[in-house]
Structure 1
Amino acid sequence: MIFVQDFSVICSLGKNKIEARKNLNNGASPGLRARTDLLLDQEEAYFGCCDGDLPEIPEVFSEMKSRNNQLLLSCYLAERENFQKVLKQYDPSKVAVILGTSTSGSSEADKYIRDCLEGELSDFQGTQQELGSPALFLSSYLNLSGPAFCISTACTSSTRTFISAAKLLNAGIIDAAIVGGVDTLARMPINGFNALKALSLQVCRPFANDRSGITIGEGAALFLLTREIGPLQLLGFGETSDGHHMTAPRADGLCAAAAMKEALERARLKPENIGYVNLHGTGTQLNDTSEMNAMQQVFADKVPCSSTKNLTGHTLGAAGAVEAAILCLLLTEEAPSIPAQGEALSNYQPSDIKTGLVIDATLLSKKPMMTNNFAFGGNNASLIIGVSNA
């Protein structure tokens, strides 16, 4: 069995668990705001931002200096004492750091290219944008010597860190793992989504009839996993790949449903045992339709569900971790309330409502919860987290 000893999160909901919990309960997102500096045509669009100062990267790690790693460090420091209480019990060589990312230091690389074109000198180093940089940085910062690597499978990146860690823990290769993800706002992916006509200029409206695309956000979340009993438990996980299309999901949701079913089977749970499903729910026409088809196959209309990307934005490689943190916030709340889509019923497709889509905030029992993430290339992953009964 795999347990969550503690977790930390920073995103547009807040810079720590306390702020994120408060704003989640209120349906507020202080960091969700309009900006004109990220699109090439300088058009205004909404983004989920982590505002405020971030800690500096120590000079000894200057070759890995990036906003991505600054956000990661801020996330760790918010729960440093609790993490260290657990980490000091383990041999540093038996603690893994497994993180998901898709942008890493691409903003620094972007600036470097612009500086070169303008004939300016730059101290940029290629290691700043290397995809493994976040895991290597955090492992080195904590003086750990166990496995340290990043997973970059687009929107399932940080979801799959839980799966990799669970396999290493169950095999006895490691005794503890820091998992999660981090991604920051960067012009390259933002303008790429805009070129695909997938970016919404307004705050995204997952599953609504008039949805127009995604809102991109930044964020980080970290979790400390061990085999020792903790307050929360990773009950199950599932992963599939449909290989349908480079960017479009399979319309019938068959393989996405298979990932959910695998997670349920591994957790030895039935669909009705799940109290809430946090949907991938990007706000694009294709993703939302595919996911609703998958939900109908697994849960019908028996389990409440919603997407929280209208509060956090789509945090790309960090999405799985940020949304797993939302589950942990709900599971550790005295009287948790399911995050609603926050729109009138008339704005949603009848088929979506039949899957249990939550329109108004609803009190929740502390049953196990599932989170889904689906990525480009047909990569699908689901996690089930619950309150520990061990």
Structure 2
Amino acid sequence: MQTMAQAIYIHDFAVLCALGSDTETVRRNLLAPAPPRVSGTWTLTDGRTAPVGAVTIAAQPNDPDSRCNAMADRCLAGIDPALWNVADKSRLAVVMGTSSCGLLENGAAFQRRLADGAWPPSFRLAIQEFGNVAAHIANRVGATGPTYGISTACTSGAKALASGARLIQSGMADVVIAGGFDALCDLTLNGFSSLEALADGVSNPFSVNRRGINLGEGGALFVLSAEPSPIRLAGWGESADAYHISAPDPEGNGAEAAMREALVRAGLKPENIGYLNLHGTGTKLNDLMEARAVNRVFGDMLPCSTTKPLTGHMLGAAGAGEAAFTIMALQAGRLPGNAWDGERDPEMPPIRLVKPEGEATDGRAAMSCSYAFGGNNIALILEVAR
């Protein structure tokens, strides 16, 4: 692995999640001294109620047939269209991460068929294809360059950014719209419930009392190119340890490899990183392995926090959304706090968690990490000009 030969820049981004349905509301709530935590609920098939991070978006007359695509439209509306108005649309690419696009709508359609014996007139199986969100965005912006989806579970959105950067570096595109979207649905919620991974309250990451995950929905879009701007995708690292289909490597070796590769690609040392956005799901296994990996790479001095108690785990959109949160923190010079009960797990190596009310920072570079089922891992390094 060598330092990146060609710099990749982010010219604008938009995000929506449980913290807000537009970028500025998300920014304000994320960096507030007492940010709102997940407050939505979802009723599971066994009758229990699970906390979720739900997005509030008012229905529009011309909404597409998928909640993921509707959220993508909201984000597109928050970005200056001049940024993708390239003369040659074959040089404009779209890469989107997702893990559950269309499942909400198609699940309802299957229920209708079971009840009525016929599909609803609006039923369209294609909205469940992993490339559907990317194709929807490409149609909206007129892109005819490479257009595809990435579905690697919880790393999907972050991998879309790395994939978009590679398209530019390879000469296949000049501008890339990259990001990820996922919507809450019965299949996902009940699937995580069957794994006994859902928390019955707001998640409590890195605490000895942590009891599981909250799920959420949302997403983010980024416009990438090689033209300089104040925000840079400085590096990324990816690994696949294939330890288990759903459980992480308990030692965090794949997570460590991804972080170290990102540092090398960015030409940075651990001490150059001013903040780490943790994956931080609040499950027993994830938080323990992540603390081990972070401690080996950064020791116990780097400020770290996870934003999942505020948004829920947005699954395939998490890596994109949290990259946006990381940029917001660097731009504002303020780190989001780690929302937890403050009771450390003695089994965990020490890491330096940000105070719940947040902290100031003068750092220029930060890392955001995502880890997923199947043992695939990614670390992004974002950098802002000061």
TM-score when scaled to structure 1?
A: 0.93
Q: What does residue 99 of structure 1 align with?
A: 96
1:355 — aligned with what?
351
Partner Cα separation in structure 2 for residue 27 and residue 97 of structure 1:
36
Distance 2:103 2:341 in 1: 39
Alignment match, 1:138:
137
Structure 1 stretch displaced more, 295-304 or 350-359: 350-359
Match of 1:314 in 2: 313
Q: Distance in 1 between matches of 2:213 and 2:272?
A: 31
- Relative distance call for 1:88 and 1:36 in structure 2 (3 A) is closer
Measure, in 1, the Cα distance between the counterparts of 2:176 and 2:218. 20
3-state SS, counterpart of residue 246 of structure 2: coil
Tell me, yes or no, if structure 1 residue 68 matches structure 2 residue 68. yes
Deviation at 1:28, TM superposition (A): 5.2
Residue of structure 2 in register with 1:20 after alignment = 26
Deviation at 1:33, TM superposition (A): 1.6
What amino acid maps onto 2:27 in structure 1?
Answer: R
Give the 5 Å matches for 1:117-196: 117-119=114-116, 121=118, 122-123=120-121, 124-196=123-195
SS at match of 2:374: coil
Match of 2:9 in 1: 3
Q: CA deviation at 1:344?
A: 4.3
Map of 2:208 onto structure 1 = 209
Q: How many residues of Structure 1 are paired with residues of Structure 2 in the alignment?
A: 377
Partners of 2:322 and 2:274 lie apart in 1 by 15
Alignment of 1:214-229 (within 5 A): 214-229=213-228
AA paired with 1:363? A
Residue of structure 1 equivalent to 2:294: 295
Superposed CA deviations along residues 332-359 of structure 1, whole A, max 9, x for unmatched, are 22xx2221223343x1224657211223
Question: Distance in 1 between the 2:141 and 2:251 partners?
Answer: 45
2:4 aligned partner:
none
Deviation, 1:388, is 3.9
Q: Contact conserved, 2:18 with 2:55, CA < 8 A, in 1?
A: yes
SS in 2 for 1:118: helix
Q: Which amino acid is 1:47 matched to?
A: V
Q: 1:272 to 1:350 in 2, by over 3 A?
A: farther
Structure 2 residue corresponding to 1:342, chosen from 339, 343, 346: 339
On the 8 A contact 1:31/1:51 being kept in 2, the answer is no
Q: Structure 2 CA distance, aligned partners of 1:28 and 1:52?
A: 23
Q: In 2, Cα distance between the equivalents of 1:295 and 1:182?
A: 27
> Which amino acid letter does the alignment assign opposite residue 55 of structure 2?
C
Distance, in Å, in 2 between the alignment partners of 1:222 and 1:198 is: 28
Question: Any conservation in 1 of the 2:207–2:341 contact (CA below 8 Å)?
Answer: no
Contact 1:204–1:282 (CA under 8 A) maintained in structure 2: yes
Offset, 1:159: 0.7
User: Which of 49, 56, 69 does residue 51 from structure 1 map onto?
Assistant: 56
User: In 1, distance between residues paired with 2:317 and 2:275?
Assistant: 20
Q: For the residues of structure 1 that align with 2:347 and 2:87, how far apart are their CA atoms?
A: 50
Counterpart residue identity of residue 174, structure 2: D
Matched-pair contact (CA < 8 Å) for 1:55–1:73: no
Partner of 2:41: 35
Residue 36 to residue 268, structure 1, CA distance change in 2 (3 Å) = closer
Aligned residue number for residue 197 of structure 1: 196
Runs of 4+ in 1 over 4 A off after TM superposition: 27-31, 350-353
Q: How does 1:317-336 map to 2 (within 5 A)?
A: 317-333=316-332, 336=333
2:3 matched residue in structure 1? none
CA distance in structure 2 between the aligned counterparts of 1:30 and 1:50, rounded to whole angstroms: 13
One-letter code of the match for 2:353? Answer: L
Could you tell me whether the CA contact under 8 Å between 1:54 and 1:74 is conserved in 2?
no
Q: CA deviation at 1:317?
A: 0.1
Identity over the aligned pairs, expressed in percent? 40
- Amino acid across the alignment from 1:252: E
Q: Which amino acid in structure 1 is aligned with residue 73 of structure 2? A: L
* Equivalent in 364, 368, 371 of residue 371 of structure 1: 368
Q: Does structure 2 retain, via aligned residues, the 8 Å contact 1:12–1:50? A: yes
Q: Give the superposed CA RMSD.
A: 1.6
Q: Distance in 2 between matches of 1:255 and 1:31?
A: 30
TM-score w.r.t. the length of structure 2 is: 0.94
On the 8 A contact 2:330/2:361 being kept in 1, the answer is: no
1:336-385 deviation line (CA, Å, top 9, x unaligned): 2221223343x122465721122342111132000000000000000000
8 Å CA contact 2:305–2:338 kept in 1: the answer is yes
After TM superposition, give the deviation of residue 296 of structure 1 in Å. Answer: 1.0
Aligned to 1:112, the other structure's residue is in SS state: helix
Letter in 1 for 2:77: L
Query: 1:127-180: per-residue Cα shift (whole Å, max 9, x none)?
Result: 121111100011011111111100000000011111111111011110010000
Q: Residue 106 and residue 54 in structure 1: after superposition, are their counterparts in 2 closer, same or farther (change >3 A)?
A: same
Alpha-carbon distance in 2 for matches of 1:343, 1:286: 17
2:204–2:341 contact (8 Å) kept in structure 1 = no
Alpha-carbon distance between aligned partners in 2 of 1:211 and 1:166, rounded to the nearest angstrom:
36
SS for the counterpart of 2:353 is coil
* Conserved 8 A contact 1:28-1:311: no
Pair 1:31–1:296, CA change in 2 (3 A): closer
Answer yes or no: is 1:85 the counterpart of 2:91. Answer: no
Q: Deviations over 1:84-122 (max 9, x none)?
A: 122124421101100000010001111111101111640
Shift in alpha-carbon separation, 1:268–1:19, aligned structure 2, 3 A: same
- Name which of structure 1's ranges 205-214 and 353-362 shifts more when overlaid on structure 2: 353-362
